[in-house]
């Protein structure tokens, strides 16, 4: 029998070392709001991918204004350390940026077996585990998690016939609902947690849409979106 979690705390697309500078105060405020006083057995933490950016190693052109691959990785590991303390147990999803080492190895004709594991690559705690996708239960909902399969609101949820959560589409931040004789279903895109002013995201500057910085927390099977409300300098106003 699959366990039902009271709270599933989701976060996605931090793109270290290019995460939003207020990431940790924001996550700490959310942890205090949603997880305080709840048994750890009833909590699940899910990162939907793109935990690191690997900008300098990308298949796309890299900015000459940003650090080399080695320096970027060093900075990313330094920047992600507070997350190891905040959430020593976490389930993470494979993603286009997170799995870049394996994708590049494949391009070079190398099997994944010759590389370090995801955990070793970023010196993560033993409680961090990576998956292709996840299906979890909370309240009356069965929820499917994937880094990003469809940008269309409702599409993944309807295809899977259960609720769904995705990251990947940085400017998508919504919950849409649909019903069937089987019950109420919802489909969520939870935005991202990047520093969108960084040169690493310069490619997005020509788009009309801007990324939405924020995340989502599932409480008793229902998704609550939590945007980081930014001031004129793209910094968090400090209030949830």
Residues binding Fe ion (CB under 5 A): 13, 50
Nearer to Fe ion, 22 or 50 (CB): 50
Shortest distance, CB of residue 213 to Fe ion, whole angstroms?
12
Nearer to Fe ion, 21 or 139 (CB): 21
Shortest distance, CB of residue 16 to Fe ion, whole angstroms?
11
Closest-CB residue for Fe ion? Answer: 50
Shortest distance, CB of residue 48 to Fe ion, whole angstroms?
9
Nearer to Fe ion, 95 or 164 (CB): 95
Shortest distance, CB of residue 182 to Fe ion, whole angstroms?
32
- From the CB of residue 223, how many other CB atoms can be counted at a distance below 10 Å? 23
């Amino acid at each position: 029998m699959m366990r039902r979690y009271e709270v599933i705390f989701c976060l996605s697309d931090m793109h270290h070392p290019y995460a939003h500078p207020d990431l940790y105060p924001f996550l700490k405020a959310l942890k205090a709001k949603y997880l305080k006083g709840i048994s750890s057995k009833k909590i699940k933490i899910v990162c939907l991918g793109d935990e690191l950016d690997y900008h300098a190693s990308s298949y796309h052109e890299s900015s000459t204004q940003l650090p080399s691959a080695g320096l970027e990785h060093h900075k990313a590991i330094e920047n992600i350390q507070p997350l190891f303390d905040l959430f020593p147990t976490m389930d993470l999803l494979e993603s286009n940026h997170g799995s870049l080492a394996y994708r590049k190895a494949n391009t070079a004709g190398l099997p994944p077996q010759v590389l370090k594991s995801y955990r070793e690559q970023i010196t993560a705690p033993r409680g961090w585990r990576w998956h292709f996708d996840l299906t979890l239960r909370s309240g009356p909902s069965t929820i499917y998690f994937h880094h990003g399969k469809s940008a269309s609101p409702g599409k993944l949820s309807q295809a899977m016939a259960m609720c769904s959560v995705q990251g990947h589409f940085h400017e998508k931040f919504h919950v849409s609902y649909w019903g069937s004789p089987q019950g109420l279903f919802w489909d969520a895109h939870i935005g991202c947690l990047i520093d969108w002013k960084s040169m690493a995201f310069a490619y997005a500057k020509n788009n009309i849409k801007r990324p939405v910085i924020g995340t989502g927390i599932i409480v008793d099977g229902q998704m609550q979106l939590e945007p980081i409300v930014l001031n004129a300098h793209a910094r968090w106003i400090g209030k949830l």
